[in-house]
């Protein structure tokens, strides 16, 4: 496929974070772009506002005929998350059209560029966004395809004037194996997506294959302690090739020192909170130094980094109430987030609203979720968000709740949450999850600020 010939692009599942990035990229190139998604969202509304047509009906009659005719001018992209019986997809296949996975297109886009790819079962979105920001802010520049909306740039795709691209490398459906990075970062390999891989061993094998995709002469930067062999190791507090020490909170802000052999950067201010984000910053600094970026410019860039929407995002930050929203949906992500909350606000009562994501993930990691959710002072547990899955008998939020060693806990329905928060006025509130819990953010902000 020659992307230079593309005039029209159609995306099935355009509302996904990765798919919407591609939609914006091809719109930026001057292509006519349209797509389908099951439900309207803030993201699809934003795409429409940018001149991209989005349909929410699985009706082949609504698809312009020109998209159904095989042509080198037309690019058809789909995400594996769409149902197999989607009428639009099946129509295109019946017409003999070639459909490309999102990951295949990303592999083609990045194939001719110097690629920095960030992989990991968690941490990859913030780390890749942080790296892209450092490259932009220091003047090094890059393009980027991100798995979240960067707060600094209010987008999940960035456009650069050089040949460098930063890519979030997604392990779901082995998508990251289409990439050939010059620099690869691996943040974590905790068991996840077992509905796809079947076992933790198979997941790890896929990460090893990803490491094998690093080009000759390239660099693999791997978190210390992972069962992978890289060129550079990094960590928080543990001596490795690059690590953070003297991590501290001053006036509600995180500071740390960066050590890498003879290189020492002291008193770095991180623009976002979180112990885990300090570790992400160590990876970002290591990449930037590999590119010979000036250390003082890196320091300034990290202080200016505003994070990623739905990753430790402050929604309300007042004396009487603090409310933070986060995307964490794996026990270890959740643990890092809640421990950071307790470090940041040690004297406040922590109220957690959590929505489990997927029946299989809840089943596979129920003990891990039970252990980490016990860190809350009060827990409001929503029903499991099914996404692409059908229910599994016996796997529900009441089953999970019974396993949590916490006194103040209950299962709540989505339509109860806002009233509970309005009545109880928690001093430190977090909403956490990867489903549709983000729909509660605006109404919760409204009641907490009396807006």
pLDDT(450) > 60: yes
* pLDDT(121) > 90: no
328-340: pLDDT as tens digits: 888 988 998 999 8
Give tens-digit pLDDT for 29-63.
Answer: 999 999 999 989 889 999 999 999 999 999 999 99
- CATH number for the domain whose boundaries are 3-100: 3.40.50.720
Does 451 score more than 80 pLDDT? no
Q: CATH code for 313-449? A: 3.90.190.20
Sheet-wide strand order for 242-250: 155-158, 143-150, 164-169, 114-119, 183-186, 219-223, 232-236, 242-250, 253-260, 263-270
Which class for 218: exposed (0-12), middle (13-18), buried (19 or more C-beta within 10 A)? middle
Query: What is this structure's pTM?
Result: 0.83
Q: Which residues pair with 254 in a beta bridge?
A: 249, 270
The model's pLDDT over 345-400, given as tens digits with 9 standing for 90+, comes to 999 999 999 999 999 999 999 999 999 999 999 999 999 999 878 899 999 999 99
Give yes or no for a contact between 361 and 192, defined as CB atoms under 8 angstroms apart: yes
CB 364 within 8 A of CB 393: no
- Residue 171 pLDDT: 78
What pLDDT sits at residue 2? 81
Confidence check: pLDDT of 196 > 70: no
Domains of the chain by residue range: 3-100, 113-304, 313-449
Residue 200: CA count within 13 A, CB half-sphere: 8
Low-confidence winner among 8-12, 265-269, 343-347, 405-409 (lowest mean pLDDT): 343-347
- Give the residue-averaged pLDDT of 220-231: 94
Most confidently predicted of 14-18, 206-210, 309-313, 418-422: 418-422
pLDDT exceeds 70 at position 191 = no
**pLDDT for the residue numbered 252:** 82
Mean pLDDT on 425-442: 94
Could you give the percent of the chain with pLDDT greater than 70?
98
- pLDDT greater than 90 at residue 4: no
Confidence bin at 151 (pLDDT 50/70/90): very high
Res. 173: pLDDT tops 60: yes
Residue 237 or 68, more confident: 68
pLDDT of residue 333: 86
Superfamily of domain 113-304: Mur-like, catalytic domain (3.40.1190.10)
pLDDT given at position 3 = 83
Which band of pLDDT confidence, cut at 50, 70 and 90, is reported for residue 194? Answer: low
d(CA 449, CA 57) in angstroms, rounded, equals: 37
- Kindly indicate the confidence band of residue 192, based on its pLDDT and cuts at 50, 70 and 90: low
Taking all residues of the chain, what is their mean pLDDT, rounded to a whole number? 93
Q: Give the pLDDT confidence of 62-87 residue by residue, as tens digits.
A: 999 999 999 999 999 999 878 888 99
Weakest-pLDDT range from 78-87, 149-158, 400-409: 78-87
Query: Is 379:408 a contact under the CB 8 Å cutoff?
Result: yes
Q: Check pLDDT > 60 for residue 197.
A: no
Q: Give the pLDDT score at 112.
A: 87
| pLDDT tens track for 239-286 | 999 999 999 989 889 999 999 999 999 999 999 988 889 999 999 999
Q: What is the pLDDT of residue 195?
A: 59
| φ, ψ of residue 108 in degrees (nearest 5) | -70, -45
């Amino acid at each position: 496929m020659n992307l230079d010939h593309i005039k029209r692009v159609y995306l099935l599942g355009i509302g996904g974070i990765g798919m919407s990035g591609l939609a914006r990229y091809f719109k930026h190139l001057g292509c006519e772009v349209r797509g389908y998604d099951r439900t309207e969202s803030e993201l699809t509304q934003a795409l429409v506002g940018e001149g991209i047509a989005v349909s929410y009906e699985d009706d082949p009659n609504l698809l312009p005929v020109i998209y159904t005719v095989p042509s080198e001018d037309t690019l058809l992209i789909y995400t594996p998350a769409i149902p197999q019986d989607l009428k639009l997809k099946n129509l295109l296949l019946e017409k003999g059209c070639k459909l490309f996975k999102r990951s295949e297109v990303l592999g083609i886009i990045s194939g001719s560029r110097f690629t920095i790819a960030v992989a990991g079962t968690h941490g990859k979105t913030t780390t890749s966004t942080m790296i892209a920001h450092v490259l932009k802010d220091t003047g090094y520049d890059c393009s980027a395809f991100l798995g979240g909306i960067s707060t600094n740039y209010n987008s999940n795709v960035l456009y650069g004037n050089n040949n460098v691209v930063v890519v979030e490398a997604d392990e779901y459906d082995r998508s990251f194996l289409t990439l050939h990075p010059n620099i690869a970062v691996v943040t974590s390999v905790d068991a996840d997506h077992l509905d796809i891989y079947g076992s933790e061993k198979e997941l790890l094998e896929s990460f090893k294959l990803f490491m094998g995709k690093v080009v000759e002469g390239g660099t693999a930067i791997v978190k210390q302690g992972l069962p992978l062999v890289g060129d550079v190791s990094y960590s928080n507090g543990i001596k490795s090739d690059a690590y953070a020490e003297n991590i501290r909170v001053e006036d509600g802000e995180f500071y740390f020192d960066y050590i890498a052999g003879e290189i020492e950067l002291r008193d770095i201010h991180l623009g976002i909170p979180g112990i885990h984000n300090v570790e992400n910053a160590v990876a970002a600094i290591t990449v930037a130094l590999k590119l010979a970026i000036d250390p003082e410019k890196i320091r300034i860039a990290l202080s200016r980094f505003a994070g990623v929407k739905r990753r430790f995002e402050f929604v309300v930050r007042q004396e009487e109430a603090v409310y933070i929203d986060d995307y964490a949906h794996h026990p270890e992500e959740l643990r890092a987030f809640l421990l950071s909350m307790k470090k940041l606000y040690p004297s406040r009562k922590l109220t957690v609203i959590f929505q489990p994501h997927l029946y299989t993930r809840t089943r596979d990691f129920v003990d891990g979720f039970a252990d980490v959710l016990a860190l809350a002072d009060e827990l409001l547990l929503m029903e499991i968000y099914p996404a692409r899955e059908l229910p599994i008998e016996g796997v529900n939020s009441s089953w999970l709740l019974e396993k949590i060693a916490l006194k103040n806990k209950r299962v709540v329905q989505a339509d109860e949450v806002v009233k509970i928060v309005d009545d109880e006025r928690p001093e430190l509130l977090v909403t956490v999850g990867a489903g549709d819990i983000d729909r509660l953010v605006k109404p919760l902000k409204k009641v907490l600020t009396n807006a």
